[in-house]
Structure 1
Amino acid sequence: MTAACLRDIRLFVPCLALFVSACAKTGDPQPPLVLIPKPAADLAARQSSDKLVLTVSAPVENTDGSPVSTLAEVEVLRLVEERAGNLPVKNEEEFLARAQLLVKVPAQKLPAYRQGGKLVFHDDLVFEDRSIIYKRGLRYAVRFINGKNQTAGLSNQVYVAPLAIPGPPRGLSFQLGQEYIRILWPPPETNLDGSTPPRIAGYNVYRTEDPRSLPPAPLNKQPLRATEFEDREFQFDKTYYYLVSVVGSVESPYAES
């Protein structure tokens, strides 16, 4: 083969490649990818004194199974309704028509609400008539919203009927021994709303080395019936802070001062 023929072949190959590329078959049009966080399924509520604490896991997965990357905000909603037992779950349309927005938190501010792997929200139960707290039931739900203001719907709903319970005991005292620290306290005489007798299912004792934080679990495994507790799991040369709370109800939802 001559040199001229070689030159002709080299010039032809690029042209062939361009022709093939131009004739390639394109795929069918695809709808735009929509990423929406999956609704929460573990919303829970408990009473703390005359307030309510809501906990829920932060979203980690979209409805299509992909990791969450478009979360824009979290909404907490509350519905005030008649107090009754075994109320059915509201359908989403009915709930949204009657509920009020309790709090809306932008995604960039959620780290301030994280505690122990959960998002924690507080409802201070601010009503013009404070007595309504113990006369009505409260139903809660949350929803996750993406950057396009889209949501996959409400979380599970939780219903709470707040109880009039005592505040924490006052006048704690201590007795020190070689092997124990004994904490003693007088029982409360009234509930937070002034009613009697005080609703006391037991007591919890908490210990911390940082007075600004409360441990997630008390020292006692079960609510105490007695008004004293011996701490035998301590170390010398450490400073401890103790807090005693009243357990008003061990049923769900849990109520503690």
Structure 2
Amino acid sequence: MRLRALGLWLILFSILAGCGRKTPPLPPEQVAPRQVTGLRYELRVSGVKLTWKVPRRTLAGTPVGHLKGFEILKTEKVIGQGLTRSFKIFVPVDRDLDKVSSFGYEDSNLRSGCRYVYRVRAVRGFRSVGPFSAPVSFSWHSPPGPPEGLRLEAWDRKIYLFWRPPQSFLDGTPVDLPLRYRLWRGPSPEALKPLAVLVDGTSFFDGSVENEIRFCYRVAAVIQFYGTWIEGAPTEVLCAIPHDLTPPSAPRALVAVPVPEGIWLRWREAPEPDVAGYRVYRARKGKKFVPIHQGLIARPEYIDRTLPGPGVYVYRVTAVDDSPRANESPPSAPVEVEYKSKER
């Protein structure tokens, strides 16, 4: 019995002694964040904006937890001279990254005539630093100033843009590089999007607009500097509304026949799909034409019951479209008819 009790005590002691053991801690290198991915750059008038994805795991595969910040390695090389400098920029994290997928940094400390290379890595703590990301690189030149004298001319389903080239770059030096232009268009100044193609000259014809709808524009000069496209300061935003200014074609084959009720008129319909109706004009022979009804006539026929008396009358007809301006066509060829009496 004593031996059995002694064995139970030995087993219990072994279990209790084992509970205090811990696995050896991982070295800082293994709990460092994984490599930053998705590094991108966006050039702006003021410099460059970098964005990248936030790593969620350590090199050992565990959750990364809180990050102290990110370290940016910036390399600057003077083009054509071979002079190279490197800088380290620490960007602290001042917010919870659990609900964000990306992080960013804007660098306005760029020198014209240099090429830049950026790499980014995540910092968790002392000796707990992740590997650098893949690099991004670009060449930098002071951007062009805004184009001058932008003006718009709105016509029927088209808008013309005209401007003059900028005379200097934003650093004050005269423009000595070829310029192209990027156009931005949208329904309002706050909703502009860039057009797909760059423009070579200082004018643009936009034939993809619709009448009675507002279109807003701005223009920026663009240069290509050692393989990098750099967009300059934009013009102010101007807006225009194209209008339907094209009238329908004149009605054809007008005929006039006396009937007991008056004069019956018939003509061939105008072929345009936006015709809202027709307007009939009458005149005494040798006198001025005047409209003889209110509003528009929907069908291509009409009986004139308002004749003032017997005589020779001349008629002509116009077509009117459905635009806000109610564009009226040229008149049809006139027809002459003699009316003898209103009596049957």
Query: Is TM (by shorter chain) over 0.5?
Result: yes
2:67 maps to 71
Q: How far 1:108 moved relative to its partner?
A: 0.9
**Inter-partner Cα distance in structure 1 for 2:62 and 2:218:** 44
**Inter-partner Cα distance in structure 2 for 1:231 and 1:105:** 49
User: Aligned to 2:33, which of 28, 37, 43?
Assistant: 37
2:327 maps to none
**Identity within the alignment, %:** 20
Q: How far 1:148 moved relative to its partner?
A: 5.0
Q: CA RMSD in A?
A: 4.1
Q: Is the 8 A contact 1:76 1:142 kept in 2?
A: yes
Q: Structure 1 unaligned runs (5+)?
A: 1-14, 91-97, 127-132
Q: How far 1:181 moved relative to its partner?
A: 4.0
Q: Secondary structure at the match of 2:106?
A: strand
Q: How far 1:151 moved relative to its partner?
A: 0.9
1:106 aligns with 2:93: yes
Instruction: Determine which structure has greater relative contact order: mean sequence separation of CA pairs < 8 Å that are 6+ residues apart, divided by chain length.
Output: 1
What is the TM-score of this pair, normalised by structure 1?
A: 0.63
Pick the structure with more helix per residue. Answer: 1
How is 1:67-146 mapped onto 2 (pairs within 5 angstroms)? 67-84=63-80, 99-102=86-89, 104-108=91-95, 118-125=102-109, 133-146=111-124
After superposition, the Cα gap between the structure-2 partners of 1:234 and 1:41, relative to the gap in structure 1 and judged at 3 Å, is farther
Q: Is the 8 A contact 1:188 1:198 kept in 2?
A: no
Q: How far 1:186 moved relative to its partner?
A: 1.9
Q: How far 1:256 moved relative to its partner?
A: 1.5
Q: Structure 2 unaligned runs (5+)?
A: 1-6, 233-344
Q: Secondary structure at the match of 2:206?
A: strand
**Inter-partner Cα distance in structure 2 for 1:178 and 1:122:** 44
1:177 aligns with 2:155: yes
Q: Which amino acid aligns with 1:49?
A: V
Q: Deviations over 1:90-123 (max 9, x none)?
A: 9xxxxxxx63344523141879xx8xx7544322
Of stretches 28-37 and 149-158 in structure 1, the one that deviates more from structure 2 is: 28-37
Larger radius of gyration: 2
User: Aligned to 1:197, which of 153, 173, 176?
Assistant: 176
Q: Deviations over 1:73-103 (max 9, x none)?
A: 1233323333259x8xx9xxxxxxx633445
2:258 maps to none
Q: Which amino acid aligns with 1:73?
A: G
